[in-house]
Amino acid sequence: MTLRRLLLAGLLVLAGLPVADADAAKRRVGLKAFSSCAGLREYALGHAPSPAPRPAPLPPRAVPMPMPMPMPVSGGGDEGASAPAPAPVSAPAPQTGGGQEDSSTTNVQEAGIDEPDIVKTDGSYVYAVAGGRLHAVDARTATPRLLDSLDVPGIGGAAQLLHHGNRVLLIAPDGADTRMTEVDVSDPAALRIVHTLAASGAFVSARQHGQTARVVLSWTPPAVRAVGGPVVVARAAARRPSSGKGWVPAATLRTKRTGRTRRRALVSCRSVRHAARFAGLEMLTVVTIDLAKGLPAIDSDAVLASGENVYASATSLYVATTRWGASGPVWSPSSTTAIHRWDISERDRTVYRSSGEIPGHLLNQFSMSEHRGVLRVASTLEEDGSSSRVTVLDERSGRLQAIGQVGELGRGERIYAVRFIEDAGFVVTFRQTDPLYAIDLSDPARPVKRGELKIPGYSAYLHPAGDDLLIGVGRDGTESGGVLGVQISLFDVSDLDHPRRLHAQALGSETRSEVETDHHAFLWWPKTQLAVVPFLGFSDAGAFSGGAAGFRLRREGIATAGTLTHPSSPSQSGIERTLVVRDRLVSLSQDGLMVGRTDTLGPGAWLALGASAG
């Protein structure tokens, strides 16, 4: 045994982990790291694509189209219909609250896992991005008061934020990079930038568990991005044979108080891992930040892969990306989705663990859900006429391996909405009518399609409302397959064999809502069964209108709570978010913030922000 091996063995024994167990764990993980920067460059050189003779057409969108054309539909099969009925679905809705009974925060997929958004509140103060600035608003009374506004270089209109204690982390695109800005909000009347971190790569998404934020970035080395393919890569490799510069992502930290800057690599060449099967030359980096301490990052982990959809539980972070098939320059409808898992069970570490692959493409983050240690994934396959399936994956021998699957969901259709709730899954497909499929996942190795409900139109977002109820937000439709305006529906899913739509309420034939593509725009306030849906549209006279509609959703029926509008403004942006602060309804647009009533949605005190503030 070498001296290094003896030292390692001693450390493992002190940590309570036998050497044999450590070796077994390493084999299970099966990660393949580069031995040097030269190895990383040689790998890139060997896989760099030759310039294509002409660009391939773009693949079809994997998000709900606003106005699909009527098309004929064929139904799916009914396998497993005679299996015993599962237990009723009774999981409560993911709480939009941040620990205060009279206030809400961001509408998230998993309770306790926060997601970046344009507005956050701690139950007293509201921090919002509007008009290219960060605003701190005192919302403790019925009349909101602007405490401070901060110009943050580079945040533009695409900035999102996370919040913990006395810190706000602003995340915004900055050219090919991502800019993270740490703002001290200990005194909301005197917002103060502490650090900025400009990191290589485009922002994919982020998740926050407690005080730990994990920011996912996707980056391609400049030499690989350059026109010229392998020749450019080879020349770059020859210039700096032992350097990682330009081959691994870097970050520049700037301390606002001193003006000092420091640039360092986010990861080393030897810490970059790649899957056994080539997954592209993009580099996926997970940057771990302790929001209790602020910037810089405390850990970074990277793998050669790209990223599109991000999902997180309390212990795992998953990043998925779709690869579309191609035969030379001709695009093919075939697709596969690679999924990568990171272990985030430790507060200050993020460890890449495994990868897997499934046929088809995902709709969004709700296509993934982890429950009882396994991952459930809903995907649509486009070849040979589209159909969808749910696959259950388990981590085995360092890979995410399929252990169960149910298919033939919506033959000739594609997925428009997904929601997993404990041992059940609900999948909406659409082409002419809206089949809502109920999936029994109580046995992960043998998922079963249970009931199916067909109604006109479709749901683009599904939200659990407790008491075996499911809210759907999407579009109303005609029997012939035409699509109308925004509609909110209430489903009874207590019997998976017979899901029922109890009630539906339409907003108008010429309306649309951001909830269809961004669940953060939806507010569900369980305390009073209030759902609020921002919308844009046109009146019968053709005039533009925008606002938010509130509904009381109960098993007995859907009642209109009221409609909320903001004063007319230069941007005509419409209401983008609604939240509850101290049992008052706060609504936000890029022009301002209004504090009103949750019972009637009646107009309240208005605070101008953004361009209208001057």
In a domain, 177, yes or no: yes
Give the lowest-confidence range in 33-47, 298-312, 412-426, 455-469.
33-47
The rounded distance, in Å, linking the Cα atoms of 300 and 306 is: 16
The answer, yes or no, to whether residue 587 has pLDDT greater than 70, is yes
pLDDT for res 386? 86
Contact of 12 with 25, CB cutoff 8 Å: no
Q: Answer yes or no: is 179 within a domain.
A: yes
* Residue 20 maps to a domain: no
In which residue are the tokens 């032992």 written? 242
The C-alpha atoms of residue 369 and residue 450 are separated, in whole angstroms, by 19
pLDDT of res. 614: 46
Residue at 323: amino acid letter: R
Q: What is the DSSP string of 240-290?
A: STT--TTTS-EEEEEETTT--EEEEESS-GGGEEE-SS---S-EEEEEEEE
Residue 218 lies in a domain: yes
Confidence of residue 509 (pLDDT cuts 50, 70, 90): confident
Q: Which residue has the higher pLDDT, 94 or 21?
A: 94
Q: Are 550 and 530 in contact (CB under 8 A)?
A: yes
Tens digits of per-residue pLDDT, 525-570?
999 999 999 999 865 555 567 899 999 999 999 999 999 999 875 5
pLDDT over threshold 80, residue 189: yes
Report the half-sphere exposure of 10 (CA within 13 A, side-chain side): 7
pLDDT for the residue numbered 173:
92
**CB neighbourhood size of 486 (10 A):** 27
Q: Average pLDDT over the chain, rounded to whole? A: 83
CA distance 211 to 208: 7
Residue 489 and residue 557: Cα distance in Å, rounded?
Answer: 10
Q: What is the mean pLDDT of residues 306-310?
A: 93
| Percent of the chain clearing pLDDT 90 (strictly above) | 61
Question: What band does 69 get if pLDDT is binned at 50, 70 and 90?
Answer: very low
Stretch 372-376: mean pLDDT, rounded? 97
Q: What is the pLDDT of residues 470-490, one digit of tens each?
A: 999 999 988 877 889 999 999
> Among 503, 491, 556, 505, which residue's Cα sits nearest to residue 535?
505
Model confidence band, residue 267 (pLDDT cutoffs 50, 70, 90): very high
The residue segments making up the domain with residue 225 are: 37-63+159-327+335-358
Q: Are 164 and 208 in contact (CB under 8 A)?
A: yes
Give me the torsion for CA of 421, 423, 427, 433, rounded to 10°: -100
At 278 the pLDDT is: 74
Q: Give the Cα separation of 348 and 167 in Å (integer).
A: 17
Provide the domain count of the chain: 1
Average pLDDT over residues 210-215: 98
pLDDT computed for residue 562 by the predictor: 93
Distance of CA 327 to the CA centre of its chain: 31
CA distance 471 to 464: 6
**Rounded CA separation 515/575 (Å):** 12
Is residue 306 situated within a structural domain?
yes
Mean per-residue pLDDT for 441-445? 98
Longest Cα–Cα distance of the chain, Å, equals: 85
Domain assignment present for residue 214? The answer is yes
Q: How far apart are CA 472 and CA 457, in angstroms?
A: 11
Asked if residues 537 and 565 have their Cβ atoms less than 8 Å apart, the reply is no
Q: Is residue 277 part of a domain?
A: yes
* Exposure b/e, 372-405, CB count within 10 A at least 16 = b: eebbbbbbbbbeeebbbbbbbbbbeebbbebebb
Of 90-99, 197-206, 344-353, 428-437, the least confident:
90-99
H/E stretch holding 510 reads none
**How long, in residues, is the chain?**
614
User: Residue 511 domain-assigned?
Assistant: no
**Are 429 and 417 a contacting pair, CB within 8 Å?**
no
Neighbours of 587 (CB within 10 A): 25
Q: What are phi and psi of 611, to 5 degrees?
A: -65, -30
Q: What is the mean pLDDT of residues 301-321?
A: 95
Residue pair 407/392 in contact by the 8 Å Cβ criterion: no
Q: How confident is the model at residue 430 (pLDDT cuts 50, 70, 90)?
A: confident
* pLDDT surpasses 70 at 449: yes
Lowest mean pLDDT among 313-327, 350-364, 439-453, 485-499: 313-327
Angle between helices 230-239 and 37-47 (to 10 degrees): 160
Angle, in degrees to the nearest 10, between helices 19-29 and 3-14: 100
In order, the DSSP letters of 47-99 are HPPPPPSSPPPPPPPSS--SSPPP--------TTTTSPPPPP--PPPPP--SS
- Distances in Å between the Cα of 375 and the Cα atoms of 135, 338, 445 are 39, 13, 11
- SS3 assignment, position 164: strand
User: Which positions ≥6 away from 376 have C-beta within 8 Å?
Assistant: 368, 369, 370, 390, 391, 392, 393, 420, 425, 441, 444, 447
